[in-house]
Amino acid sequence: MKNVPFKGIIAYPITPFDQNEKVDIPLFKKLVERLIVSGSHGIAPLGSTGVMPYLSDDEKEAITEASIQQTNGRIPTLVGVSNLTTEKTVHHAKFAEKAGADAVMIIPMSYWKLTDDEIVAHYDAVARQISIPIMAYNNPATSGVDMSPALLKRLLEIPNVTMIKESTGDIQRMHYLRKELGEDVAFYNGSNPLALSAFTAGARGWCTAAPNLIPELNVNLYKAVEAGDLEKAKEIFYKQFDLLKFIVNKGLPRAVKAGLNILGQEGGNLRSPLKPLTERETEELKNIIKTLN
């Protein structure tokens, strides 16, 4: 298998803001530490949960440096470096590598619909500028671009594109990649409600915001899958299923922040235009969390 530094539960930390909507780096480090000590196998800052598109270049770099400082080599760090332009994506990828990231994650963000050839050229241009592995992230719900299995197969021909994160919710894509590419492809689940199905389809890991709220359940699910205990895995998965659906449906940053507050943890504020959950939604989340204790 190509260079693949991640396996297991890869947790997405939120990016907290203070009352003036400035990035709160000290709180961010506390939240990262909480993910580390609760058993996550890696962290992935600057993804959807980390509201990467809402941050300036300087803020992205500050989050990157804070992540690597806090992990301090204890678990690997996968940094989101996506941008609308190839030039900016290259810039952030080079910064992440220099800062000490173990790998970078790229989603093909676009305003105009990109062709397959444009997407391949985009990834190839970044890959030529860095030596660490790249995870190709397919999430049409947020990027507006749906990378077909055939396109993902082309991307994996780029030497340091070694990982695929699939978030379409189509489990057949994972089966296709496994069938077409065998053990040479390392794919990761990015659709929370499909975590169990993805693991049984051969996913190497699960990229998720859920460890901010239910780290033990997430880690125990992975342990049960690794042990081959499918019945136990089903029990653990369906216990957390309602929460997994809720945080996706209500928006990961909103839901995770509200959940942290319910658990008595400081979650910081959001940046406009994002707004907190309503009182009704917060009460619904509180009731879901109660069932997990």
Cis peptide, bond prior to residue 273, ω within 30 of zero: yes
Is residue 252 included in any domain, yes or no? Answer: no
- Residue of 95, 96, 93, 77 lying closest to 32 (CA atoms): 77
Phi, psi of 138 (to 5 degrees): -110, 110
CA separation, residue 174 to residues 19, 261, 262 (Å): 42, 35, 35
pLDDT, the chain, mean: 94
Summarised one tens digit per residue, pLDDT across range 214-242 is 999 999 999 999 999 999 999 999 999 99
- Check if the beta carbon of residue 149 is closer than 8 Å to that of residue 176: yes
- Average pLDDT for residues 130-150, to the nearest whole number? 88
Q: How many structural domains is the chain composed of?
A: 1
Provide the pLDDT for residue 146.
Answer: 84
Is 23 a member of any domain? yes
Is the CB of residue 266 less than 8 Å from the CB of residue 30? yes
Position 171 scores a pLDDT of 78
Q: What gap in Å lies between CA 286 and CA 293, rounded to an integer?
A: 11
Task: Say if 290 falls within a structural domain.
Answer: no
**pLDDT at residue 182, rounded to an integer:** 67
Spatial separation of the C-alpha atoms in residues 215 and 223, rounded to whole Å: 12
One DSSP character per residue, 21-38 reads S-B-HHHHHHHHHHHHHT
- Angle (CA) 42 259 50, round 5°: 45
The number of helix segments (H) and strand segments (E) in the chain equals 12, 8
Question: Is 60 exceeded by the pLDDT of residue 1?
Answer: no
Q: For residue 104, what is the domain's CATH number?
A: 3.20.20.70
The answer on pLDDT for 184 being more than 80 is no
Structure tokens at 10: 């890869």
Report whether 131 contacts 3 (CB < 8 A). no
Q: What is the pTM of this model?
A: 0.94
Contact call for residues 157 and 121 (beta carbons, < 8 A): no
pLDDT above 90: residue 173 = no
Distance of CA 176 to the CA centre of its chain: 22
Cα–Cα distance measured from residue 186 to residue 164, given in angstroms and rounded to the nearest whole number: 6
pLDDT tens figures, 86-139: 999 999 999 999 999 999 999 998 888 899 999 999 999 999 999 999 999 998
pLDDT value of residue 113: 87
Mark residue 92 as left, alpha or beta (left: phi above 0; alpha: psi -120 to 50; beta: remaining).
alpha
27 or 140: which leads in pLDDT: 27
In this predicted structure, what is the pLDDT of residue 217?
97
Q: What is the pLDDT of residue 106?
A: 97
| Residue-wise pLDDT tens digits, 250-282 | 999 999 999 999 999 999 999 999 999 999 999
How far is 170 from 245, CA to CA, in rounded Å?
16
Please report whether residue 257 resides in a domain.
no
Residue 149 inside a domain? The answer is yes
In a domain, 245, yes or no: no
Residue 1 near residue 9 (C-beta atoms within 8 A): no
Is residue 281 in a domain?
no
**pLDDT at residue 202 above 90?**
no
Polymer length in residues for the chain: 293
Contact 167, 143 (CB under 8 A): no
The pLDDT assigned to 131 comes to 96
Closest CA to 209 of 223, 189, 224: 189
Supply the pLDDT for residue 116. Answer: 96
pLDDT score of 32: 98
Q: Which domain holds residue 121?
A: 8-238
- Note whether residue 83 is domain-resident: yes
Task: Name the percent of the chain lying above pLDDT 90.
Answer: 83
**pLDDT tens digits for 31-88?**
999 999 999 999 999 999 999 999 999 999 999 999 999 999 999 999 999 999 999 9
Q: What is the pLDDT of residue 123?
A: 98
Confidence band, pLDDT 50/70/90 cuts, at residue 2: low
pLDDT at 290: 95
Burial of 45 (0-12, 13-18, 19+ CB in 10 A): buried
Residue 17: φ, ψ to 5°? -120, 155
